[in-house]
Amino acid sequence: MNRFSTFLLCFIWSSALYAQKSYYGTEEKWPEQDTARKFYTVKGDRHGISYFKKHQFKEVQYVMGNTLSFDTYHTPDVMYSWCRKWAEQYPNLVELYEVAKSYEGRPILQMTLTNKKTGKHTDKPAAYFEGGRHSGEVTSSEAVLWLTKHLLDNYGKDASITKLLDTKTIYLRPQNNPDGATMYLFTAQRNRSSLRPRDDDRDGLFDEDAEDDLDGDGIIYQIRKKATTKEELEKADFVIDPRDKSGRLMKKVREGQGNWLVYTEGIDNDGDGKYNEDGIGGLDNHRNYPENWRPDQGGDFTNRGYTQGGASDYPLSEPETRATFVWLMGHPNISVVNSMDTRVPMHLRPPSTSTSAESMFPQDLAIYKHMDSLGLSFTNYPWAGDVYEVYNTRSKVDRVTGDPSKAVPLFGHGPDFGYFQYGSVWYGDELWNGGAMKDYDGDGEYDEYDGLMWDDEANGKRGFKPWTKFTHPQLGAVELGGFHPKFFAQNGPAWQLENWIAKESRFNLAMAKELPQIDLTDVTIKPLANNEYEVKVTWTNSGKLPVALEQAKRIKMVPEDRVTLDIDKNLLKGFQDAKVTITQPELVDKTIYAGYTNIGEKKEATFRVKLNQPGPIKVKVKLLSTRGGYKEKEITIGDKK
């Protein structure tokens, strides 16, 4: 009994945690919001420092303005302010709620967009779009914000968008990792995902060697040092790229074949001869999903198996990933997902551990290839395809070794969870290209040289800091410089932002417009002998996706479509003596299981109802499709006189 009570309490608590509840609350004051504080602090017990000088970048808006424009980046707090404003401004279209708390306790907010007057959000086919999983990949969050604004601005003006929100549900989560994004935008610091302390270099210490802003400009650039000693020359793995006559661009080579050493800006805080190898956090929320998860580094005790950096101690260990997983599992009406990242650029999809042909159903792969083409029609990205093969071989040879590129597995990856475990069309698109807008040297590759040339030509040379002499406390004479790590290498210059997020969002919108859609086309009532009636229900899928991918059927993520008749229970009591009996189907639950409705397919279900009482009865016909939507229609059976 005690065990059952404990289970029940846990179940109620977890259900409440992930229930959709309106959210308009005010949060506690966070370090970034206290303008009197000069330092930004992070939570958690670490062996290194937990406070960093606050900084404000000219590319970022830190206080909500009167209008929302996308020629600047926005902090999570500003984004949340717009979410609250939209929820108040469009109460019939927007529901704002808290999905979970982040590691540091910040709210992870999400919006549901649908016309509430046309039905509940869970009764409609749905798409889900998410950004901000990786701390520094803030372009992805802006894409979610842009799409939200675009939908709300055009509802009632654009017929296709109006129809979309009348008949479908769009779930939008701009910030899946507000801790990391906030630290990224308020300090010189960077990290991969969660801020939870982690022993990256496995020396028994946590976060003891973070990057250091040595010149105090608020940006972590690179350090380059000319190798002079025998020991340095044995380790040197960079040369000046011969394509760049100005001597700015560094090219990675094999260890011992270079004459320069390159580090990120900082010092060797723990004295192990390495620089900045154990910064704040270090776990990767995009390696923490249960599908094909593998142990983190050091977790394979045979030293012969696979490991995955950033995977953490076990799947869904991080509150941010766990919140996404549990919420999605509770909303199986979602057919299309894009959980976006930054910097390749590519329409990135499963599989991540095998080729598409060997592990995907052919029908599903055809849908994904269609979506690849659809995406490219909007974005003109150079690549679209799976992680395992297309992503890893997009460059024909390894630029350092010269060896042919080969497929490499990536474990615990979101897109693999999305397809293999959730059975959806799931993309993890990468936005921005490091400035490589065209192939300046004609070598068939889009790389840092092309980015540097574009920065010179079109960006006023603002993306690359010229190498500047600096006396390093440990290395001696060095130079600081390189690409701007935040607003050129990882995210674009602010003036480029809207171009990238708009075309990516139009792809997301196009995918949402292809969602399955079950339409109840007709219900006919035919009188038979002995006061029995035939009720025939017909429907079709007018969407451009089936109500279930083949993978969704295999893993039982999506039940087959079904039809029921809802009749007053009092009329059905008494078995053969009941006032009303459903004589067909003969199944006890009186449900017609109709399989899965494909694109454009028309289906029908036939009931027989016998009235053992005089006068008509009201009946509600219910058509239930998990991903195709819920439809109902009230009918009258029997003599109306």
Residue 114 has pLDDT above 90, yes or no: yes
- Confidence at residue 2, expressed as pLDDT on a 0 to 100 scale: 44
Residues 6+ positions from 72 with CB-CB distance below 8 Å: 59, 60, 61, 494, 497
- Confidence at residue 18, expressed as pLDDT on a 0 to 100 scale: 45
pLDDT, mean over the chain:
94
- Confidence at residue 74, expressed as pLDDT on a 0 to 100 scale: 98
Closest CA to 382 of 418, 416, 346, 354: 346
**How far is CA 6 from each of CA 1, 13, 408, 569, rounded to the nearest angstrom?**
9, 11, 44, 34
Residue 226 has pLDDT above 70, yes or no: yes
- Confidence at residue 34, expressed as pLDDT on a 0 to 100 scale: 86
- Confidence at residue 639, expressed as pLDDT on a 0 to 100 scale: 74
Closest CA to 78 of 173, 182, 187: 182
**How far is CA 412 from each of CA 211, 305, 473, rounded to the nearest angstrom?**
27, 15, 40
Integer-rounded Cα radius of gyration of the chain = 28
Mean pLDDT of 500-527: 98
| Residue 490 DSSP code | I
* Number of neighbouring beta carbons within 10 Å of residue 440: 18
Residues 6+ positions from 191 with CB-CB distance below 8 Å: 135, 136, 180, 183, 184, 279, 280, 281, 282
Instruction: Count how many Cα atoms sit within 13 Å of the Cα of residue 444 in the half-sphere of its side chain.
Output: 5
- Confidence at residue 331, expressed as pLDDT on a 0 to 100 scale: 98
Where does the pLDDT of residue 597 fall: very low under 50, low under 70, confident under 90, or very high at 90 and above? very high
Mean pLDDT of 242-269: 97
- Confidence at residue 29, expressed as pLDDT on a 0 to 100 scale: 75
Stretch (H or E) spanning 100: strand 94-101
Residue 330 has pLDDT above 80, yes or no: yes
d(CA 384, CA 318): 29
Mean pLDDT of 104-119: 97
- Confidence at residue 33, expressed as pLDDT on a 0 to 100 scale: 85
d(CA 14, CA 462): 49
d(CA 165, CA 155): 8
- Confidence at residue 283, expressed as pLDDT on a 0 to 100 scale: 95
Q: Is-cis flag, bond preceding 382, omega within 30?
A: no
Closest CA to 20 of 83, 93, 111: 111
- Confidence at residue 6, expressed as pLDDT on a 0 to 100 scale: 39
Decide: 559 and 531 in contact? Cβ < 8 Å.
no
**How far is CA 242 from each of CA 225, 249, 252, 455, rounded to the nearest angstrom?**
18, 8, 12, 18
- Confidence at residue 26, expressed as pLDDT on a 0 to 100 scale: 57
Share of the chain above pLDDT 70, in %: 95
Longest dimension (CA), the chain: 105
Where does the pLDDT of residue 4 fall: very low under 50, low under 70, confident under 90, or very high at 90 and above? very low
Buried b / exposed e over 55-93, threshold 16 CB at 10 Å, is bebebbbbebeeebebebbbbbbbbbbbbbebbeeeeeb
Where does the pLDDT of residue 23 fall: very low under 50, low under 70, confident under 90, or very high at 90 and above? low
Over residues 357-407, the pLDDT tens digits come to: 999 999 999 999 999 999 999 999 999 999 999 999 999 899 899 999 999
Mean pLDDT of 162-176: 98
Mean pLDDT of 201-228: 97
Over residues 26-36, the pLDDT tens digits come to: 556 788 888 88
- Confidence at residue 563, expressed as pLDDT on a 0 to 100 scale: 98
- Confidence at residue 5, expressed as pLDDT on a 0 to 100 scale: 41
Residue 76 has pLDDT above 80, yes or no: yes
Instruction: Count how many Cα atoms sit within 13 Å of the Cα of residue 443 in the half-sphere of its side chain.
Output: 13
- Confidence at residue 13, expressed as pLDDT on a 0 to 100 scale: 40
Where does the pLDDT of residue 448 fall: very low under 50, low under 70, confident under 90, or very high at 90 and above? very high
Residues 6+ positions from 244 with CB-CB distance below 8 Å: 449, 452
Pairing of strands 169-173, 341-342: unpaired
Token pair for residue 66? 């009167």
d(CA 492, CA 464): 12
d(CA 470, CA 479): 5
* Number of neighbouring beta carbons within 10 Å of residue 441: 12
Residue 7 has pLDDT above 80, yes or no: no
Strand ranges across the sheet with 518-527: 518-527, 532-541, 602-611, 580-584
- Confidence at residue 28, expressed as pLDDT on a 0 to 100 scale: 64
Greater model confidence, 67 or 2: 67
Mean pLDDT of 514-537: 97
Residue 175 has pLDDT above 70, yes or no: yes
